[in-house]
Structure 1
Amino acid sequence: MGISVDLETIMLPFQWVVSIVMVGFHEGLSAVGMPAADGWTWTLSIIGLVLVIRAALIPVFLKQLDAQRRMRLLQPDLKKLQDKYKGKTDQLSRQAMAQEQMAMYKKHGTNPFSACLPMLIQVPFFLALFQVLSGISSAARQNEGVGAMSHEQVVQFDQSSIFGAPLSAVLLHGTPPGGNVVSVWVLSILMIVTMTAAQFIVQKMIMARTMSDEAMATPFMRQQKAILYVLPVIFGAGGIVFPIGVLIYWTTTNLWTLAQQFFVDRRATGQAEA
């Protein structure tokens, strides 16, 4: 019980931040003529939340780019380390190699987890959005609000939909009354596939830019590569328990990340050719 209460207390500020941003965009969109109870008004409010969070993460992204640059400069030293332990497959040698590799990362001020940093920072906001949207239906029945959302706004969100799919619908839990079952399945699966593919492509692009083939052959980096590839699968599989509104958030943020990485790679390629 103590652990759950502590987690709830920790997440409460994030829930308020998420709901305040969403309500702010919703009221702004309603003020310019969009229907307050329309699903697209709430969808754009969720996308607005993504834009705010990703804009706030730009300094983190710049640090990530610097870490990637340091990782590329580290490649010759990693190759020497690999040559040093070439052919040594015993446990002590593998441990020694991993320790020297971590010391090398520390010395150069980088680490292979830098690619995951923006995503990890978003996790509390993502969980907060999940908690807010998951509590919508219950709050609507109990005449309550959720975070900064008034009861009226909670009811509006609970009854809103896009393409016939309620924003509060969860693929695993079935479709709420009035919703289109086919729309919920098609929209959910489409977004799950899109967000998983986008995240996988981004991780692959980052690994290709920062690590040479020789460095990727080390046991330590094979483990890191597995982690980077498993994360998108985990989030993809978890999509079946996410409300449509949460899937909109995660799909949008992953597409932002993909576009951002394409821009960086294209700019780096242009500078290299120049």
Structure 2
Amino acid sequence: MIDFFQTIGGAILTPLYYAISAVLIGWHKLWGAIFGPASGIAWILSIIGLTLVIRAALIPLFVKQIKSSRNMQLIQPKVKELQKKYGHDRERLAQETMSLYRESGTNPFASCVPILLQMPVFLSLFRLIDQAAKDPTVERGLMTETLNRQFGDAVFLGAKISDTFLSTDLWSVRVLALVLVAAMTVTTFTTQRQLMSKNMPADALSGPYAQQQKLLLYVLPVVFAVGGIAFPVGVLFYWTTSNLWTMGQQFYVIRNNPAPGTPAFKAKQDRDAEKARRKGEPLPQETVPDVVVEEEPKPQARQQPKKQTRSQRKKTGGSGGAGTPKKKPDPGDPPSS
């Protein structure tokens, strides 16, 4: 059984070894020509370059993630209505909620997709570094024995790229590893917190979607903090750089294209209004308050009946038409025959 899973894992990871090593070697040729092929800074910058290439390739998925996240926020009032209507029947509630997701083109797990797609890359880089340090004669992807030795023995800030917090007794290595683990944890937490505090309307802060976001907010940093002490320094640089990219990318989107009804949207309205005020331009359309107080309609004046002469009233009273009110006798009128 173990051999079966190893075979499956090898079949999945082998193409990734070639793709990742190709990008890594491409960057290493650039930085190695500047700092030396065996220098730690050349390999660290190559890992950072690999991270940037991977994250740039994931931009289309990030766009889909943003759209799905925005749809989740917009349909929260409908989700709450379903919860009130089918709260007593969990199975029916789940069916109706999933139907609503399909109709609105929303994927509640879209926020996890970039992280999940990076995990095979993360694992492949981990194996390349680990193998280069333990047995450089084993070539994976395009990494030759020479490159493996340079990669596994490269030193940056007193620590080998292949060292982990648990694999060494050197305090310089442990301090660097802890700094990177802390940076990885803080950037993960800040990214999720930024999304929840600035780009989620009040209606979206409760319900299943909010629970999912809160789970990611607290669980992911803990997972990375606990697992980070077993990651090589090179892998920690990869993940920290990836988190910084995510944080900057999300900050740009929230600032320039926030979801309606969120604090970030209000802040953008204020910035646009201030910019228009400085330029002497009319205020943007979106700065008009959402609630407009309408004036109560004035009651129409009652139309007074036209004043009639005595002879006109006499004729009217004597017409005997259907529905015509009878004229009240006037003391000054002659008696009728």
Give the TM-score normalised by the residue count of structure 2. Answer: 0.71
Residues 209-218 or 59-68, more deviating:
209-218
TM-aligned CA distance change 1:106 to 1:211, over 3 Å? farther
One-letter code aligned to 1:218: G
Deviations 1:136-160 (A, max 9, x none): 12223xx343321221111112221
Q: Quick check: 1:169–1:243 contact (8 Å CA) kept in 2? A: yes
Show structure 1 runs of 5+ residues with no match: 176-180
Give the aligned length: 261
Cα distance, 1:100 vs structure 2? 2.2
Greater C-alpha Rg? 2
Cα distance, 1:48 vs structure 2? 0.5
Q: Which of 218, 224, 227 is the matching residue for 2:207?
A: 218
One-letter code aligned to 1:135: Q
1:262 corresponds to 2:264: no
Residues 74-83 or 14-23, more deviating:
74-83
Q: Quick check: 2:192–2:216 contact (8 Å CA) kept in 1? A: no
TM-aligned CA distance change 1:49 to 1:41, over 3 Å? same
| Partner residue, 1:84 | 85
| Partner residue, 1:250 | 239
| Partner residue, 1:229 | 218
One-letter code aligned to 2:9: L
Show structure 2 runs of 5+ residues with no match: 259-263, 273-337
> Identity over the aligned pairs, expressed in percent?
42
Cα distance, 1:129 vs structure 2? 0.4
Q: Which of 126, 150, 153 is the matching residue for 1:159?
A: 153
One-letter code aligned to 2:241: T
Cα distance, 1:250 vs structure 2? 0.4
Query: Tell me, what secondary structure is at the counterpart of 1:173?
Result: coil
**What CA distance in whole angstroms lies between the structure 2 residues aligned with 1:263 and 1:221?**
22
Q: 1:1-274 to 2 correspondence within 5 Å?
A: 1-31=3-33, 33-84=34-85, 92-140=88-136, 143-174=137-168, 181-208=170-197, 211-218=200-207, 221-223=210-212, 225-227=214-216, 229-267=218-256, 268=258, 269=264, 271-273=268-270, 274=272
Pick 1 or 2: higher relative contact order, CA cutoff 8 A, min separation 6.
Answer: 1
**What CA distance in whole angstroms lies between the structure 1 residues aligned with 2:156 and 2:134?**
21
Query: Tell me, what secondary structure is at the counterpart of 2:71?
Result: helix
Give the TM-score normalised by the residue count of structure 1. Answer: 0.86
Query: Tell me, what secondary structure is at the counterpart of 1:112?
Result: coil
Q: Quick check: 1:50–1:252 contact (8 Å CA) kept in 2? A: yes
| Partner residue, 2:321 | none
Cα distance, 1:233 vs structure 2? 1.9
